[in-house]
């Protein structure tokens, strides 16, 4: 497909759910996709689906792992879009019933993971005053629900972190907290059970999300947005 511009797009958590849907949709438009996932099996499966992309096993909670990945990706050039999508959700339970291990894992993936990715990619982007950073938030980053206090806390943190980052970026860049909406993914099935089937699939969602994301610019810096 002929493009006005072939974009370089980095996606964390690209092997499942929304991340995979974005990787597939953006790749179909001819863009250059670099993604990561925590499972070697899932990374290999996605690589076969998107042979023109480049996907690696990365532990976003480990700065050294992210830094190694970033050095490879940045060797091909700066990303036009850096999409922090990797996230997990807790099993439904009251806050005091959630173990320290599960609570800590959510914080590590959903918040520390974004911090690590920003630390490893964004300095190079800032030097060139180039790039859009999209941190996936949630409706539960702007409202709450009982049974999911840790997840809500991380997504509220994503909103605050991203808005603060937006104030620190040079003109020409943007940091955007993006609520994807309610989509039938593994995470939604954890939250809603059978009720998740009443919502759009990730692939259907991507039909709207891909053009919406590609339309974001520095004018959207610091604005909490939702995929229509």
Residue among 62, 182, 181 nearest 115 (CA): 62
90: left (phi over 0), alpha (psi -120 to 50) or beta: beta
In angstroms, the CA 134 to CA 214 distance is 11
Classify residue 131: in a domain, yes or no.
yes
Distance of CA 185 to the CA centre of its chain: 14
Q: Is the pLDDT of residue 214 over 90?
A: yes
- Indicate which residue of 34, 151, 156, 199 is catalytic: 151
Classify residue 79: in a domain, yes or no.
yes
CATH number at residue 125: 3.40.50.720
Classify residue 36: in a domain, yes or no.
yes
Q: Are 17 and 88 in contact (CB under 8 A)?
A: no
Classify residue 219: in a domain, yes or no.
no
Phi, psi of 11 (to 5 degrees): -130, 125
- Residue 2 is predicted with a pLDDT of 43
Classify residue 193: in a domain, yes or no.
yes
Classify residue 61: in a domain, yes or no.
yes
- Model confidence, pTM: 0.94
Quote the tokens at residue 155.
Answer: 């997504």
Domain housing 123: 8-214
Q: How many domains does the chain have?
A: 1
- Residue 185 is predicted with a pLDDT of 75
Classify residue 75: in a domain, yes or no.
yes
- Residue 3 is predicted with a pLDDT of 57
The string of pLDDT tens digits covering residues 119-136 is: 999 999 999 999 999 999
Which residues are CB-neighbours of 64 under 8 A, at least 6 positions away? none
Quote the tokens at residue 223.
Answer: 């604005």
The string of pLDDT tens digits covering residues 57-67 is: 999 999 999 99
**Comparison of pLDDT for 192 and 56, the residue scoring more:** 56
Classify residue 2: in a domain, yes or no.
no
The string of pLDDT tens digits covering residues 79-134 is: 999 999 999 999 999 999 999 999 999 999 999 999 999 999 999 999 999 999 99
Q: Are 202 and 20 in contact (CB under 8 A)?
A: yes
Respond yes or no: is residue 151 known to be catalytic.
yes
- Residue 204 is predicted with a pLDDT of 94
In angstroms, the CA 104 to CA 134 distance is 23
Specify burial of residue 185 (Cβ count, 10 A radius: 0-12, 13-18, 19+).
Answer: buried
């Amino acid at each position: 497909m002929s493009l006005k511009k072939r974009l370089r797009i980095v996606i964390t958590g690209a092997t499942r759910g929304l991340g995979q849907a974005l990787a597939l949709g953006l790749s179909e438009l001819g863009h250059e996709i670099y993604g990561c996932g925590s499972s070697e099996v899932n990374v290999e499966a996605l690589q076969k689906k998107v042979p023109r992309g480049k996907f690696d096993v990365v532990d976003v909670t480990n700065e050294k792992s992210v830094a190694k990945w970033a050095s490879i990706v940045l060797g091909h050039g700066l990303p036009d879009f850096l999409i922090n999508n990797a996230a997990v959700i807790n099993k439904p339970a009251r806050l005091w019933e959630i173990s320290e291990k599960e609570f800590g894992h959510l914080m590590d993936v959903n918040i520390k993971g974004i911090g690590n990715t920003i630390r490893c990619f964004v300095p190079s982007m800032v030097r060139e005053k180039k790039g859009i950073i999209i941190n996936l938030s949630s409706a539960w980053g702007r409202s709450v629900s009982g049974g999911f206090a840790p997840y809500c806390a991380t997504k509220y943190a994503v909103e605050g972190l991203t808005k603060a980052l937006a104030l620190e970026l040079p003109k020409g860049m943007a940091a955007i907290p993006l609520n994807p909406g309610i989509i039938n993914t593994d995470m939604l099935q954890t939250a809603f059970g059978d009720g998740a089937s009443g919502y759009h699939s990730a692939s259907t969602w991507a039909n709207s999300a891909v053009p919406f994301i590609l339309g974001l610019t520095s004018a959207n810096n610091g604005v909490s947005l939702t995929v229509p």
